[in-house]
Structure formats: C-alpha cells, structure tokens
Amino acid sequence: MTIETPKSVRELSLFEDARKRLDKALKYVSMSEDALRRLKYPKASLSVSIPVRMDNGSLKIFQGYRVRYDDTRGPGKGGVRYHPNVSIDEVQSLAFWMTFKCALLNLPFGGAKGGITLNPKELSRQELERLSRGYIDAIADFIGPNVDILAPDVYTNATIMGWMMDQYSIIKRQVSPAVVTGKPLMMGGSQGRNSATAMGAFYAINTILHKFEQIPRQTTVAIQGFGNVGAILAELLAQVGYKVVAVSDSQGGLYAQQGLDIPSIRQYKHENRGMKAVYCKDTVCDIVEHKIISNKELLALDVDILIPAALENQITAANAPDIKAKYIFEVANGPITSAADEILEGQGIRVFPDILINAGGVTVSYFEWVQNRSGLYWTEAEVNQRLEQKMVEETEQTWCIAQNTGTSMRTAAYIHALNRLGEALDAKGTRDYYVNNQW
C-alpha cells in the first residue's frame, strides 16, 4: 500500500527522512489505508512571531513554532527547543517522533513539539524570561492540559518551564500546572523528572546488553553531548562499572583510555562551564592524562557503545563508514539519517532507536501530568520504579517483535507504535466499516 506524500510537506527534508522509517515498518502492520493517510499529515501547525523588548531598549522579533502532529490517543505532548537551527521542518519532525514515542510507551498522549529560533546564550536572563512568556502569549489558545502539553528540550530547562506555566496560568486566570511538565518541584514538578531521560535510557541499555551477555566492566562507552541527558547517563553507566572513555559537548571532547571520572567532569563543567578530564577532591580539581578530541573523532572511536546525546543528523552517509562501535544507543532525537542506518546495518552495527531509548523523559512527564491532575505526589523511588517497569516492558516487547519479524529494533519499535496508533485511528471508523454497513 502506498500513499502519496502531501505536497505541503514534500520539500521538508528532515521530515521526509523521518517518514522513511515508517515505510519500512508498514509491511508488518495491518492498518487501514485511512489511518495511514492520517499519519502522513500533521494535525495542526502554528508559526508565531514574538516581539521582545531587549535590555538595551530595542525591540527584537523572534520566530516560534508549535506543531501538534496527532492527538488520536490523547492530548499532544512534546518539548520546546531553543536553538539557532529551529525551523518548521525540524519541529514537525520532532512532533512526528513524539507521536510514535508516546504510542510505543503506551502513554495516553499524541505527539507535539515546539521551538524558537535563537541562540539562548546571547540573551540575558531577563530577555529569556520575556521571550518565554511571549511565546506562551502567542500560543496560549493552541495548548492546554487537555490539548497540548509542553516540556523542556535542548537549551530549555525547569526555570523556563516554570515561567511558561506561570504565564499560561495568568492568561487563563487559574493555576494550571498540568499544561507544562519538567517544572521546578515547588511549582508542581515531579521527583525524578530531571534525570528521567537518562534513567530511562539506562534501564533500556541494561535490558538490551543483558541479552548480548555484555559485561559492564568489559564495556567501553563514548558519549556525544554532555548536557542534561548525556552527563547524567554517563554517571549512571560509570556507577555500575561501564568504562566511559570519551565525552564531548559543542566545544569538543575528551578521551582517556583508562576511563574518565565523570562526577569530577560534571563538577568542573558546572563550576567553570568548560570541560576538562579532571579528578576532583572537594574544591580542588587535578587534570589527569587525556586527549582532546573533536566530535568527529569521538564518533569514530573504537568502543563497544556509542551514545549520540546531542542533536539530530550527527551520523550520516558521509561518516557512517567510519563508525567502529558495536552498539549505538540513540539518546538524541534523530542522530542517524536513514541512509546512514543502511550503512551501519551493513557493517553489523546494532542501532537502538531514539523513540525507545530516550522515552524515559516523556514517561516521567506523563507521571508529572498525572500527579498534577490528581494532586497526589509520589516519591522519587516510586517514580523510578514505575519508570523502570515501563521501560523494561516496552523494550522487551520491541525486542520480541524484532526477533519475530527479523527486523531491526528501529523497525520493530515503529511496528509496535503503529499497531497501537492504527487501532486508535481505526476505532473511529474505517472505509470497510462504512462500506459494508453491517453491525
């Protein structure tokens, strides 16, 4: 069954690439043509301009977006990204991935995403607050606790989520914590949300590596992106014995064959905003022997596990032949292009997809939304126990589908999500149902 791609999205390259993954899974899914046709189009896209009074008195206009891709299984759910490369193409692709991620984890949400095109490092805190509140002013009628729920993404954090929730509450004249997740704890945030994506990835990675009898102490790891997710995941892996030999951020990376002391690097980065391979004791940090490497070199290291945890399109057809890792766990959204996927598969490298590996964040966002709506708050241990249960269950189910269909884990994850989405879409009626007109 083939459905022509709608003209309005034909030129959207990242989106087109994202959709290719879907086409592979369709062979194994019995969903109606109607449901498939629906999934080719985003449900609604909003593009807004946000005027912000800058500290020097000038007025600057920023471009912002919110896309709700599908809400058949529940309100839209997705983060807000602040980055110079944010475009409608990127936001739409991220909303598409969220749709499948939420279905894969069996969360009662559809997929959405938002973003503003800017370099947040160039704005003062006051300017960032005015911009964040201005974004909510512009999209307030498009979101809501039962419509579309926001969360943090690249270069947005709990403080920004707090401003957004506060602004929405001012506009609606009622305290509305459930419109945004990833808020500060004191504003209705959930215990464990900050570490949730890393924690979820950690549970999924352990579940999968156990099947390959890969022993943590004998496993080397390289992580691209030492931000909220990458740094916490590096620490979780190191704690149970994995040897994290390389990490990087947008400025470049560090490599030490004997393994890096991750807590010390986190402490140093927090205090100095830069990265050094250090060993810190109290307030004193000593630099240890290490190599400075570029992000390109990090990706090509001869390690057991490679974890892209920065941005999309990091492994393409151009550098895929250089990859030597045995396993790649996608923590970033869309770090591998579909062309690179084919090359990696040909090299025998096993890739574990973003919509499964990084789904811990949206899962605990769901827990936060549930807590906000019920008014009953859980302990961190309760949150992590429920997160582990969900991540292990869906990882195991995806693994079984991959084994039974002989497909990659990526295709299996899409099959699993498509089955749930197809069922929900078809429950509203299919062509067969209406044509046959029989009870």
Catalog residues that contact ligand NAD under the rule CB under 6 A: 152-155, 197, 224-230, 248-250, 295, 309-311, 331-333, 358, 361
Q: Residues 28, 42: contact at Cβ < 8 Å? A: no
Structure token digits, residue 133: 């509140």
Q: Residues 73, 109: contact at Cβ < 8 Å? A: yes
- 140 CB burial (10 A radius; 0-12, 13-18, 19+): middle
Q: Nearest-CB residue to ligand NAD?
A: 227
Structure token digits, residue 180: 């945004």
| Closest approach of ligand NAD to the CB of residue 97, in Å | 9
Nearer to ligand NAD, 127 or 249 (CB): 249
Q: Residues 169, 198: contact at Cβ < 8 Å? A: no
| Closest approach of ligand NAD to the CB of residue 252, in Å | 8
Structure token digits, residue 99: 């749709």
Identify the bridge partners of residue 252 per DSSP, sorted by sequence position: 249
Q: Which amino acid is residue 63, in one-letter code?
A: Q
- 281 CB burial (10 A radius; 0-12, 13-18, 19+): exposed
Nearer to ligand NAD, 134 or 361 (CB): 361
Please state, in angstroms and rounded to a whole number, the distance separating the CA atoms of residues 229 and 200: 10
| Closest approach of ligand NAD to the CB of residue 37, in Å | 28
Q: Which amino acid is residue 161, in one-letter code?
A: M
Nearer to ligand NAD, 165 or 311 (CB): 311
| Closest approach of ligand NAD to the CB of residue 330, in Å | 9
Nearer to ligand NAD, 166 or 312 (CB): 312
Nearer to ligand NAD, 184 or 214 (CB): 184
Q: Residues 424, 73: contact at Cβ < 8 Å? A: yes
Active site residue ranges: 113
Residue 138: count of CB within 10 angstroms of its CB: 19
| Closest approach of ligand NAD to the CB of residue 422, in Å | 24
Q: Residues 304, 221: contact at Cβ < 8 Å? A: yes
| Closest approach of ligand NAD to the CB of residue 348, in Å | 25
Nearer to ligand NAD, 13 or 251 (CB): 251
Identify the bridge partners of residue 46 per DSSP, sorted by sequence position: 66
Nearer to ligand NAD, 248 or 407 (CB): 248
Nearer to ligand NAD, 221 or 311 (CB): 311
- 204 CB burial (10 A radius; 0-12, 13-18, 19+): buried
Measure the CA angle with vertex 167, ends 165 and 172; round to 5°. Answer: 95
Report the half-sphere exposure of 332 (CA within 13 A, side-chain side): 23
Residue 163: count of CB within 10 angstroms of its CB: 20
Q: Which amino acid is residue 295, in one-letter code?
A: N
Q: Residues 139, 48: contact at Cβ < 8 Å? A: yes
| Closest approach of ligand NAD to the CB of residue 284, in Å | 24
Please state, in angstroms and rounded to a whole number, the distance separating the CA atoms of residues 403 and 406: 5
Please state, in angstroms and rounded to a whole number, the distance separating the CA atoms of residues 427 and 419: 12
